[in-house]
Amino acid sequence: MDKLTALIGAVVIAGGGVATWQFISAEDSAEDTAMGHSMTPPDTSSIEAGDPIVQVQLPAEFSEQATIGKTIFEAKCSECHGANAAGQNGIAPPLVHKIYEPSHHSDMAFVLAAQNGVRAHHWKFGNMPKIEGLTQGDVKMVAAYVRELQRANGIN
């Protein structure tokens, strides 16, 4: 077997492992706690259906990337995740939440979620479908927007 074939085989096997982990592993609160962190979503029972789940403080200004990301977010993501990524009760979670801090959900997690969809694992809103018409670059701009919103709200 030549080196190129071995390299391709290793990439395919690694990719299969990552894909399997992404789609098969479902985390619940008990598993999160057992893993050393608590990412329990808040109780939303007192919030009306469709209302924002969190209150979002906006930064004084956005970077150029985040401004582009905001435009993309408003076109492709806000229908579910709400204005300024505050979530909508019963529909989709807020992305301005500790659960989505960079150390728990990297920017690549946003890319994979948009490209492939994602199984519900922290919130009980159901699975997220893949989002058509977004490039990796688009989602990275959205991630820049979300990260700046998070930092303005004390999530680093």
Closest CA to 87 of 31, 128, 35: 128
pLDDT at 28: 39
- Please give the mean pLDDT across all residues of the chain: 86
7 pLDDT above the threshold of 80: no
Average pLDDT over residues 123-144: 97
Domain ranges of the chain: 51-151
38 pLDDT above the threshold of 90: no
CA 58 vs. chain centroid, Å, equals 19
Rounded Cα distance between 51 and 59, Å, is 22
Q: State pLDDT tens for residues 61-102.
A: 999 999 999 999 999 999 999 999 999 999 999 999 999 999
For the four alpha carbons of 35, 41, 42 and 44, in that order, the dihedral sign comes to negative
29 pLDDT above the threshold of 60: no
pTM value is: 0.75
Q: State pLDDT tens for residues 8-20.
A: 766 667 665 555 4
> In whole angstroms, how far apart are CA 115 and each of 41, 89, 132, 145?
24, 24, 8, 18
Fold that domain 51-151 belongs to in CATH = Cytochrome Bc1 Complex; Chain D, domain 2 (1.10.760)
The one-letter amino acid code at 107 reads: D
